């Protein structure tokens, strides 16, 4: 792999982020919704409390992690602590899976959480992505159960104490 950098996503990353997201997701409506969220968060991060971090190889985005500093209420009910950070999305471009990019992003966000006095990282993963469940467990995340009534997919909540 070439030179890798992890940093807050910028306007220059938007097309690369769209390519990452599109490499996994179908449907223009879903892609447009996500990209509007990314663009809003980059332009005004405090508006929705969504933030995005990109991992780049040779200045091209190959992975993204999104997070919220205040988890949505239903996720907070699964928490073991009173101060959690919520991972909202973790995606690596299909051409770069199984190369340590996901590990680097998760490590980055856990370090960020710990450094900023968060005690726990929460994330969800739907049944559609159940192949990622073993990755989270291997990384030390505990399966906290299922979120009720989330679309047509069963969605699991995972948690890890970071402090």
pTM of the model: 0.91
> Is the per-residue pLDDT at 10 higher than 80?
yes
CATH 3.40.630.30 fits 4-161, yes or no: yes
- Angle of helix 14-22 relative to helix 28-43, nearest 10 degrees, comes to 150
Where residue 127 falls among pLDDT bands split at 50, 70, 90? confident
- CA distances (Å), origin 118, targets 52, 64, 139: 17, 20, 18
Q: Where exactly are the structural domains of the chain?
A: 4-161
> Is the per-residue pLDDT at 142 higher than 90?
yes
Query: What percent of the chain stands above pLDDT 70?
Result: 93
Q: Which of 51-55, 63-67, 80-84, 147-151 has the lowest mean pLDDT?
A: 147-151
The pLDDT assigned to 102 comes to 94
> Is the per-residue pLDDT at 118 higher than 80?
yes
- CA distances (Å), origin 37, targets 9, 66, 75, 88, 113: 12, 10, 20, 11, 21
The pLDDT assigned to 64 comes to 95
> Is the per-residue pLDDT at 72 higher than 90?
no
- Are the C-beta atoms of 80 and 159 separated by less than 8 Å? yes
> Is the per-residue pLDDT at 78 higher than 80?
yes
pLDDT in tens, 97-115: 999 999 999 999 999 999 9
Among the listed residues 163, 46, 49, 41, the one whose alpha carbon sits nearest the alpha carbon of residue 110: 163
The pLDDT assigned to 135 comes to 96
Q: In what order do the strands lie in the sheet with 142-147?
A: 4-8, 50-57, 60-68, 84-92, 120-126, 155-161, 142-147
The pLDDT assigned to 88 comes to 92
- Are the C-beta atoms of 46 and 35 separated by less than 8 Å? no
């Amino acid at each position: 792999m070439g030179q890798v950098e992890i940093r807050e996503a910028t306007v220059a990353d938007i097309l690369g982020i769209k390519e990452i997201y599109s490499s996994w997701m179908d449907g223009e409506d879903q892609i447009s919704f996500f990209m509007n969220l990314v663009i809003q968060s980059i332009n005004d991060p405090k508006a929705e409390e969504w933030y995005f971090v990109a991992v780049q190889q040779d200045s091209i985005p190959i992975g993204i992690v999104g997070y919220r500093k205040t988890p949505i209420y239903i996720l907070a009910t699964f928490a073991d602590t009173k101060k959690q950070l919520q991972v909202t999305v973790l995606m690596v471009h299909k051409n770069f899976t199984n190369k340590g990019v996901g590990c680097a992003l998760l490590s980055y966000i856990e370090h960020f959480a710990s450094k900023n006095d968060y005690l726990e990282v929460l994330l969800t993963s739907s049944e559609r992505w159940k192949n990622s469940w073993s990755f989270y467990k291997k990384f030390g995340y505990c399966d906290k159960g299922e979120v009720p009534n989330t679309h047509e997919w069963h969605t699991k909540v995972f948690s890890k104490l970071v402090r």
